[in-house]
Structure 1
Amino acid sequence: MRIILAPMEGLVDAPIRETLTKVGGIDRCVTEFIRVTHGMLPPRIFYKYAPELHNNSLTRVGVPVAVQLLGSDPHMMARHGAKAAELGATQVDINFGCPAKTVNKHKGGCVLMREPELMHEIVAAVRQAVPATVLVTAKMRLGYDDRSMGVACAQALEAAGAGEIVIHARSKKDGYKPPAYWEEIAKAREAVKAKVIANGDIFTVADYWRCREVSGCDDVMIGRGLVARPDLARQIRASQRGESIEMMTWLEALALVQEYGCALQGWLEDKYVTGRIKQWMNYLRQGFSEAEALWPQARKIREVAPMFEFLNQATAVDQRLIDCCGQQDVANSLN
Structure 2
Amino acid sequence: MRQRRPMKMSTREALNGYLFFSPGLIGFLVFMAFPISYSLYLSFTSYNMFSSPRWIGLLNYRIIFTQDPLFFKSLYNTLYYVVISVPLNTIVGILIAVLMNQKIKGMRLFRTIFFLPSVVSGVAVALLWQWILDGNFGLLNTFLSHFGIIGPGWLTDEHWSKLSLILMNLWAVGGSMIVYLAGLQGVPRSLYEAATVDGAGRIRQFWTITIPMLSPTIFFNVIMGILGGFQVFLQAYIMTGGGPNNSTLFYAFHLYNKAFKDLQMGYASALAWVLLLISMALTLVVFVTSKRWVYYEGEQK
Richer in helix (by share): 2
Larger Rg: 2
TM-score for the superposition, normalised by structure 1: 0.24
TM-score for the superposition, normalised by structure 2: 0.26
Richer in strand (by share): 1
